[in-house]
Every structure is written in C-alpha cells, then in structure tokens.
Amino acid sequence: QRMFAPLLLFLAELGCSAQPTYLWRDAVTQEKLTCQQCPPGTFVAQHCTKDRQTLCQPCPDLHYTQYWNYLEKCRYCNVICEEKQVEVQQCNATHNRVCQCQEGYYSEMEFCIRHSKCPLGFGVERKGTPFENTQCSPCPAGSFSSSSSSSEQCQPHQDCKQQGKVTNVQGNQYHDTLCTSCSLERRNGTQEQAADDDCKQAMIDFVVYQNIPIRKLKRLQQILERLPRKRPQETRAAMQEKFRTFLIHLQEEHEVTEELLAALRQAKLHSLEEQVRQRFLLH
C-alpha cells in the first residue's frame, strides 16, 4: 500500500495536466488516431496524422475559441452591444464580446430597464446593479425619506434639542422632524406676534404637515395656488412636499400669514385656523 500511494498521486497529477485529446479517422489510411486538441485562442489548421501531431493556428481578428477544442475554424464574435448597453469585455482570441446594461439600468428579459426609484417613505436597501433592480424598504421608526430616489437610504430624524431648538413638527417616515427657534411667549400679560422669518416658516410647516383629510388638503392647495379642481392623483406625502415648496416661494414674494389664515377659513378648516392662531399668537 505504501508503494502504491506515490504512484497514484503521480498518475492523478499527470491526468490533471495532460493535454486534451480527440479521436480522428485519417482520411487516407482510415486509421483511428488520438489527436491533441488545440488550446483556447487557436483552432485546428490540420488534424494529426500517424506521423505528426495536430497543427494549431491562432484565431483571426474578431474570432475566438474559449476552450480546448478541435474546431476547424474559430467562432465569430457575434455579440453586439445594444441600446443602453456598454462593452465590458472586448472581443479577443479567447472570448466573445461581453455587454451589460449601462449605469442606472438593469437587464430584464433581454432589455435594459431603468432602475426603479424608491417612493417617499422608502429608502434604498440595495442599490440596483446591471443585473438587478433597486431594492427598497419602508423607513423604520426614527427615520425618513422625503424624496423619490434610486440611491438614497432613509435618513435619521434630526434632534431639535441638540440644536438648541424646539420641535415644531414631529417627523415620520415621509419627512424629517422640523425644528424651530421661534420663541412665542406671553410677556407682561401681552402676546408677542410671530413676526420674524423663523416663526413664519414654522407656521407654514405646522399647517402643511397636519393630518388634514386629502380632500380638504387639495381644496386648500386649490385656493392658494389657484389650481384647477381636477388634478392627477398623488399621495398625501407628495402633496405636502409640493405644497410646502409653494408656500416657501410665496413667502419670499410677499407676506402669507393673513392669506394662509383666510384660505384655512375658506377651506372650512376652522379648528386648524384656531390652532395656528393660538400656537403663533396671532389673535
């Protein structure tokens, strides 16, 4: 047994390194021959004979053989990169051309499709690749995503106390916690009106992110933005983000406090109007 072990090991190594062969019948003698195969990147120019081994030659341009073979001609590099694909490996003597979807796209049923964006309230769990679409997951408690994105993860809510501010609007999965340095206090038995810019911004944020029924939120937007009654269907979160952006731009042009309060009355949001007046000392 001790004598056979080294012999078996030698035979195993010899088998692993031996050049592949194939059977061939000599056209002249009709003799069956065992010929050596040609290595990758070459092809059989002449099959072996009784007196000579296989003659291999390199593949011409735009042709290849990927494996040991006994082909009489190399394969043509027939892969062509299509629309929205990029070449990641050039055609060479041993490989066909390799294409994959360009950045921002993934392969689905032989087409390159743009990576999906995660909607508001969802973050990217795994970015899309040329072979897989974006993977999204809902933002967990304490985090948010206020934009539709194919790359952004959920972000943690900011801590107002750490900034020396107070919480104006508590964050949820769709928007950040909104802080303010607006100081509204009763001094000497009188009320100080919320007149500075920070207080005006705080009032806008407070109104926008209230849990207003969607029908009434639409009505409020129509009044202030002078929009038609029929509009594309949107989620509450998307409506709130657009409404906030509109009010911020409007505030830059002129004073919106009275206009916003009047719109709340017209939309029959009397309870919210009263909350705003009490919170921001607007009586």
Helix (H, G, I), strand (E, B) or coil at 182: coil
> Are the beta carbons of 61 and 76 closer than 8 angstroms?
no
pLDDT of 185 reads 55
Tokens of 45: 């120019």
At 41, which helix (H) or strand (E)? none
Helix (H, G, I), strand (E, B) or coil at 265: helix
Count the neighbouring beta carbons within 10 Å of the beta carbon of residue 198: 15
pLDDT of 209 reads 94
Distance CA 261, CA 266 (A): 9
Of 252, 158, 156, nearest in space to 204 by CA: 252
Of 65, 87, 86, nearest in space to 74 by CA: 65
Q: Return the HEC string of 187-240.
A: ECCEECCCCCHHHHHHHHHHHHCCCCCHHHHHHHHHHHHCCCCCCCCCCHHHHH
* Average confidence (pLDDT) per 10 residues, the chain, 283 residues: 44 56 91 96 96 96 98 97 96 98 95 96 97 98 95 97 94 96 57 67 94 91 81 85 92 88 94 91 71
Handedness of CA 102, 84, 119, 147 (dihedral sign): positive
pLDDT of 67 reads 98
pLDDT of 17 reads 56
Helix (H, G, I), strand (E, B) or coil at 153: coil
pTM over 0.75: no
Q: Residues with Cβ < 8 Å from 173, sequence gap 6 or more?
A: 121, 138, 139, 140, 143, 144, 145, 154
Q: Which domains does the chain have, with CATH numbers?
A: 21-96 (2.10.50.10), 181-279 (no CATH)
Distances (CA, A) of 144 to 66, 174, 177, 205, 275: 50, 5, 9, 16, 26
pLDDT of 280 reads 86
Most distant pair of Cα atoms in the chain: their distance: 121
pLDDT of 9 reads 38
Amino acid (one-letter) located at 201: Q
Phi, psi of 67 (to 5 degrees): -125, 170
